[in-house]
Structure 1
């Protein structure tokens, strides 16, 4: 039914639940499974002020994120046609662009990720994906 499935993963409980569901669907359909984590800019805006993290913080953030993806790849090694990939940029945009790039036919995402505060200010990643996806999206609650 689905040849390529993307699941958004950020380490939150809902993304773990989404990954579990995605693995089940992928195994039942003999699908390729792409687990993606999107590393986004940690700059914050307050009025006219923009706060950006130090270069050391950015390097540490990238290293921690790459370690998360590496750990996922180890966990996924027992599942045929599954891998984790690190994307850089706005999570919704990078996930949607990657889905188009690899001709995915299903996106699975948790209804909320790690940052509820970010969701209040920038809008929900899952909401943006649902609104702009050209393929089916499964939201896990």
Structure 2
């Protein structure tokens, strides 16, 4: 199977840089087109702790834009071009939907995200994508 289109999912966390580095190295090696996706999911912090501060949509969008700037810088350093896309909704659903619509050949995702509770390590977005995606999933640990 050829991997000409790759989706790299990021969430704006510090860990996203590792996901980007790994995904872009694979993309460079395979000569793949890259889509970097960030999903705005207002209220996501409420899922991990109902008493926590929940960032507004505007704050989440700004985090996404900052994550895209970092992604573009990494891509430029590696001599790659990539397309960024901000989506809104439940992350695993939006990631898989985007992958299907763009006919990507592989999804690259981190094993953990912004949340540090056990249910979010591999029990959240990454696990749902791994279990339900019709596309191969590369998990960065």
TM range (shorter): 0.7 to 0.9
Contact 2:12/2:64 (CA < 8 Å) preserved in 1? no
Native 8 Å contact 2:21 2:74 kept in 1: no
Deviation at 1:23, TM superposition (A): 0.9
The secondary structure found in structure 2 opposite 1:116 is coil
Would the alpha carbon gap of residues 11 and 92 (structure 1) be closer, same or farther in structure 2, given more than 3 Å must change?
same
Q: TM-score, normalised by structure 2?
A: 0.78
1:1-141 alignment, distance < 5 Å: 1-42=2-43, 44=46, 57-77=56-76, 79-117=79-117, 119-120=119-120, 123-141=123-141
Q: CA deviation at 1:88?
A: 1.1
Q: CA RMSD in A?
A: 2.8
**Structure 2 CA distance, aligned partners of 1:20 and 1:96?**
21
Structure 1 residue runs of 5 or longer lacking an equivalent are none
Q: Which structure would you say has the larger Rg? A: 1
Deviations 1:18-62 (A, max 9, x none): 2111111111111101111111021637xxx9x9968xx332332
